[in-house]
Structure 1
Amino acid sequence: MMDVICTVEGLRKHGQLGSTAEAFGAPDEVLLMSTGPASHLAKHSMIARPPRRRAVIRQPKGTLPVKMTNNPLEGEPVWRTPEMLHATMQTWRDGEWHDDERIEAPDLEVLLRTLESEMLAPEPFVTQVEGWPQRSFLSGAFAYDLVQWTQPITIHHPPAPDALLAVLWAVDGALLIDHATGLAHRLHTEGDAWAEHVHPAEPRSTAPPSTHHTPTESSMDDARHAEAIEQVRQAIVEGRMYQVNIGRRWTAPLPDDPWEVMRRLLVGNPAPFSAWTWAPDLDHHLLSSSPESLLRIHAGKAMASPIKGTYPRGSDALEEQALRRALVEDEKETAEHRMLVDLMRNDLGAISRPGSVRIERYDVEAYATVQHLVSHVGSTLTVDPPAAFASVFPGGSITGCPRTVVCAAIDAMEHEPRRFWCGSIGWWDPDGHHGAWNILIRTMQVRHEGQQRMADVLAGGGITIGSVAEREIEEAVWKADALLSAAGWSSPRSSTRGVLRITPLSVPHGTPLGGRLGRRRERPHGTVVLVDNLDSFTHNIAHAIMQLGHDVHVLQGRGPKGPTDVEESVSRLLSAAPSHVLLGPGPGRPEEAKFSMRLAQMALQSHTPPLLGICLGHQALGLAAGGRIVHDPHGPVHGRPVHVVHDGTGLFRDVSGRTTRMVRYNSLVVEGTVASGLQVNARSGHVTMGFRSTDGRVHGLQGHPESIGSEDGDRLLRTFLDAAHG
């Protein structure tokens, strides 16, 4: 059995890795380590050969902080088109890195694809390992701050000019350790002697921290953290967002060697997506014991594994079981998790075949100090790995929902760049078959201030309307505790520790749909037109429509790609004669979605094809019909199924009985009975959950029929789509 720690130390000792490996390449190190017991998560660890080519991506030099003119917690973000993204390709020779060529691209996807073609040799590896590339590939670390090129928002607290945003290494050899068998497989090209003979170091005990009382500086104290949580909760009440992930930073000197700290993490906090990257000349050093996968690709099949919902470990088996049961039954935690699952279904839906997005596993995963709810969402991709990665980066579990808006809110709340925290480390196959990226949580960033070695640890959590400040602050510390302790810093609180354990739960399944699948269309002619109002569930609705056999055209209704002239855009859309129009959900008030509001007004005048409004679209119809949009007097409901009573008319005609359950994601509601020909046909207590026009052509649903937690969503959509045009 080959131990990854002893193997790394043996390679260093024998001049095959790190600063002693000058015969093979640079001192840079790329280690992807799946630690803990072998499982469906922890399969292989990868030790990359000393690299000879790399690409360095930095913040543009002309970047300056931008004064905030519009608070995203109170209104729409400031949109922007980003600057070009630049990468410098480098080659290792004569004992140092040399710049070769500088390339630029408009976004992350294009840049990664360009680097593939420029940096990688076609020569195949002598040995083939199933699930891994057959030739050299790219692996590296991506800072969260690359969000500037994946979301169309203005960042008011950008990284400093020339700050490091990513390092990507060309991996032309690697040692893979199979955790199921304990065997090592060497990926290498013909004639390469690297790691031909591996002599692992002798096992040794991991030294404790040299100090246990180093004080830390935090980016926000508990009072400021509580204030930020309350600001987010108020924004949720106003309908701006459903959930926002807020983090805080702890910083202190790091007296111990970083590898000793990493050893403590691997032994004391084993995690399946751990990683270590080091580029000494760039002052880049990441130590990660991440439990979370952003995206895995195997033979064109994608898997995302959102983590959301957290409880501490128990002090014994009985307390552990009780806490696990409490986590699974906690309404706030499960609603938060359901929201993230719907978000990841949406993100994969944007890049996957219709009908292929599904939930494959639902588990409680217990790590050293915490246990989490984890779902594994799979799909069949229609794009290559660079496009897939750029589409889901940064992950929804560490940003929130709706993602575009909350990324702007995070910038406004945290007041500083996240750097590599909540970014990603991973690799991908240039031939498009495989890839894997983690999310850089439970991660330490090591750097230097002059001659002093410093480290940053960040942690946080998702804030929802049900958040209690004291509990959220405590949760952030639970998550940071393993790293704070490994560094020898004073942890604000102590945590109960345990070993990795995975407990499978019952997988939630939507109703299977069969028959012909529809397709996405670039033009609206004769299709179902879905108006995207900047929501994070739009592609779930699109997939539901396609699964019911209808072609769909997704039209941007607001934001940087939305219409500039509403009247002209509405006229152009209706002249294309779509079969149906669906006004999608989104953040904020319906008055802000001017394109949807105009379509709602015209629908009530019988000037549109059959039209359905969902959530924000439902509110637009209610407002256009003379109703009022008010705060739900009982507070926001996000990610939670509610009991709906209906009269069996309109979209509810094929729903058995007179009740159903539908997931809500809203803070605002249509007050009372609306006028102008709309009749209420569904309620949940005081909330109007559905209405219809007297001629059966216009419908509104406050709930989300596409959510994994809605019982009869497919029937409601099928009834709408069965409506004839005219």
Structure 2
Amino acid sequence: MDRLSRLASAGIPFLFIISYDKSEVIVRPLDALGNIRVALHQTPAIKPETPPAPKKQPVPFMKYKEAFDQVIEEIKAGNTYLLNLTFSTPIHCSHSLEEIFEMANAPYKLLYKDRFVCFSPEPFIKIENDVISTYPMKGTIDASIPDAEAKILANEKEMAEHVMVVDLLRNDLGIVGREVRVETFRYIDRIVTADKTLLQVSSRIVAKLSPDWPARLGEILDEMLPAGSITGTPKRRTCEIIETVESHKRGFFTGVFGVFDGKNLESAVMIRFIEKTEKGLVYKSGGGITIDSDAEAEYEEMLDKVYLPI
């Protein structure tokens, strides 16, 4: 983390990639990325004639429900109120990770060697003009459902989940900044995939930083990670429960990556994530669990998030 602060203080543009548990931190000057590729808000380089849809081999529902039920018991015991439960779904796709990177239509894209590709719709933090912003994303619905937008915004379970994440991120920003406020509460993003369109609910929270924030960048990120939107609340205890209930190691999935351009910073949460393993490709995805969650609905949401945004 210290290297981020040193480079930012010197005004040197760089890319950073931080794993979920912060055990791996990769920092590269933008003029020395080698076989790492990053794209922020760029039009896809390839437009496929036939949009590819990955063939999924999902975890059986009963295995998912076993972990889900453990989470519900932890909630009933008062150990967590919201926990983001994730699984790995083996997929078959005829395209390489590089081709997926080129085709994916997403605001935040990262290709790390031939190891993983990420095409995230969720910003983590932005810093511009000494103002830090974060954008928690909670709540997903199939846009083809009649009155989908009204239904997702009126859903009490989704509202409760979103409010908890917003409160958690307000607290995180309060640790590193001042004058924290929720600037926009629960707006809708539309995400087009190969086989459906999804609506996702986000909020925008802002705070002020002191002008010397580049010298504290490593500290700021260390304080805020892992991201509250992909852990839960209370964060520390919830992370401990995640370690016991999830059947995979997250690795870089649900970590963050970002670019410091010499003055400002923009970053994203590493969701919508495909990783190459010895047994083939796996797509890691999940969703937030609260006391009002329904196991079948959460299972379907987890699988809905296994898509390529083309």
Task: Give the TM interval when normalised to the shorter protein.
Answer: 0.7 to 0.9
State the alpha-carbon separation in 2 of the partners of residues 139 and 414 from structure 1.
29
Q: How does 1:8-47 map to 2 (within 5 A)?
A: none
The yes-or-no answer on 1:477 pairing with 2:303 is yes
Aligned pair in 2 of structure 1 residues 277, 467: CA closer, same or farther (>3 Å)? same
Supply the AA of the counterpart residue of 2:119: S
TM-superposition CA deviations, 1:199-236 (whole Å, max 9, x none): xxxx86415478x78563x5x42111112111111111
The yes-or-no answer on 1:443 pairing with 2:273 is yes
Q: How does 1:221-300 map to 2 (within 5 A)?
A: 221-252=60-91, 254-266=93-105, 271-272=106-107, 274-279=108-113, 283-284=114-115, 286-300=116-130
1:361 to 184, 188, 197: 184
Please tell me whether the aligned partners of residues 138 and 201 of structure 2 are also in contact (alpha carbons under 8 angstroms).
yes
The yes-or-no answer on 1:379 pairing with 2:202 is no
The yes-or-no answer on 1:455 pairing with 2:293 is no
Aligned pair in 2 of structure 1 residues 179, 392: CA closer, same or farther (>3 Å)? closer
- Report SS of the residue matched to 1:438: strand
TM-superposition CA deviations, 1:271-294 (whole Å, max 9, x none): 32x212233xxx43x322211111
1:465 to 281, 291, 303: 291
Supply the AA of the counterpart residue of 2:269: I
Aligned pair in 2 of structure 1 residues 428, 222: CA closer, same or farther (>3 Å)? same
Return the TM-score normalized by structure 1. 0.38
TM-superposition CA deviations, 1:341-392 (whole Å, max 9, x none): 1000000000112xx1011123111212321221100000244322222221
User: Which residue in the other structure is 2:165 paired with?
Assistant: 340
Deviation of residue 177 (structure 1)? 9.8
State the alpha-carbon separation in 2 of the partners of residues 204 and 381 from structure 1.
39
Which one has the bigger strand percentage? 2
User: Which residue in the other structure is 1:517 paired with?
Assistant: none
TM-superposition CA deviations, 1:596-635 (whole Å, max 9, x none): xxxxxxxxxxxxxxxxxxxxxxxxxxxxxxxxxxxxxxxx
Q: How does 1:672-683 map to 2 (within 5 A)?
A: none
Aligned-CA RMSD value: 3.0
State the alpha-carbon separation in 2 of the partners of residues 345 and 299 from structure 1.
19
State the alpha-carbon separation in 1 of the partners of residues 40 and 111 from structure 2.
20
Q: From the CA coordinates, give the structure whose radius of gyration is larger.
A: 1
The yes-or-no answer on 1:412 pairing with 2:244 is yes
Deviation of residue 178 (structure 1)? 10
State the alpha-carbon separation in 2 of the partners of residues 136 and 250 from structure 1.
38
- Report SS of the residue matched to 1:386: helix
Unaligned runs of 5+ residues in structure 2 are none
Supply the AA of the counterpart residue of 1:249: S
- Report SS of the residue matched to 1:425: strand
Aligned pair in 2 of structure 1 residues 429, 230: CA closer, same or farther (>3 Å)? same
Please tell me whether the aligned partners of residues 423 and 439 of structure 1 are also in contact (alpha carbons under 8 angstroms).
yes
State the alpha-carbon separation in 1 of the partners of residues 41 and 101 from structure 2.
19
Q: How does 1:548-627 map to 2 (within 5 A)?
A: none
Q: Percent identity?
A: 27
Please tell me whether the aligned partners of residues 304 and 344 of structure 1 are also in contact (alpha carbons under 8 angstroms).
yes
Supply the AA of the counterpart residue of 2:202: V
State the alpha-carbon separation in 2 of the partners of residues 177 and 288 from structure 1.
10
State the alpha-carbon separation in 2 of the partners of residues 440 and 342 from structure 1.
21
Return the TM-score normalized by structure 2. 0.85
User: Which residue in the other structure is 1:140 paired with?
Assistant: 16
The yes-or-no answer on 1:308 pairing with 2:138 is yes
Please tell me whether the aligned partners of residues 358 and 377 of structure 1 are also in contact (alpha carbons under 8 angstroms).
yes
Supply the AA of the counterpart residue of 2:244: A
Q: How does 1:106-255 map to 2 (within 5 A)?
A: 109-113=1-5, 116=7, 135-146=11-22, 165-172=24-31, 205-208=47-50, 216=57, 218=58, 220-252=59-91, 254-255=93-94
Point out which structure has higher relative CO (alpha carbons under 8 A, 6+ apart): 2
State the alpha-carbon separation in 1 of the partners of residues 12 and 271 from structure 2.
28
Unaligned runs of 5+ residues in structure 1 are 1-108, 123-134, 149-164, 183-202, 487-726
